[in-house]
Amino acid sequence: MLREKLKNYNVILASGSPRRQQFFKDLDIDFTIQLKEVEEIYPKELKGNEITDYLANLKAAAFDDLSEKDLLITSDTIVWLNNKALGKPKDKVDAFNMLKAMSGKKHEVITSISIKSKYFQKIVNDTTIVTFNNLSNEEINYYIDNYKPYDKAGAYGIQEWIGFIAINNLEGSYFNVVGLPVHKLYQELINL
């Protein structure tokens, strides 16, 4: 359906995430990947989805040369825990500390999507509440050593081993936690 709907657009996904790229393939969207280097720094007073909205917009702003047929899609995901954003871990210690902090608690996974053309821009976001079981240090180290989650917000992928053993409850979209609220993206694109 989306392939036909978007046939007059040159859809650009500005994401190096293999998970987001796979979602686009699974939604049957013809797209190209274009990446521009953006320093992902946001004002410290922003909270929750204000951060992801800001960063999705920042990534979109790097593309200031869109043609009439271009449709640019950018996205950003954070884990929100104890009133603090957890992005991608810097190293093993950072990944361990993030997972330990989430152990036995609820956190939010927030993703924003920017849809931008030469003539308009719309930003939508989605939040999923995830509850983790208590994790032992051994389980956390096993996951980090075997899955190297350094490219994932909050240092985990729900679709990996840690998701199988750690997640006790999920309120909202599973796909949002993977990295893209595909149901919201679909609705926005089908209504263009």
The CA-based dihedral angle spanning residues 55, 15, 68, 181, taken in that order and rounded to the nearest 10 degrees:
-70
* Token pair recorded at residue 87: 């992005």
Burial class, 58, CB count within 10 angstroms (exposed 0-12 / middle 13-18 / buried 19+):
middle
Instruction: Assess contact for 130 and 109: CB atoms under 8 A.
Output: yes
Q: How many angstroms separate the CA atoms of 176 and 152, rounded?
A: 13
Q: How many angstroms separate the CA atoms of 162 and 177, rounded?
A: 13
55: closest CA among 82, 78, 83, 32? 78
Q: Could you give the residue numbers annotated as active site?
A: 76
60: closest CA among 131, 113, 101? 113
| Greatest pairwise CA separation for the chain in angstroms | 53
Q: How many angstroms separate the CA atoms of 110 and 33, rounded?
A: 23
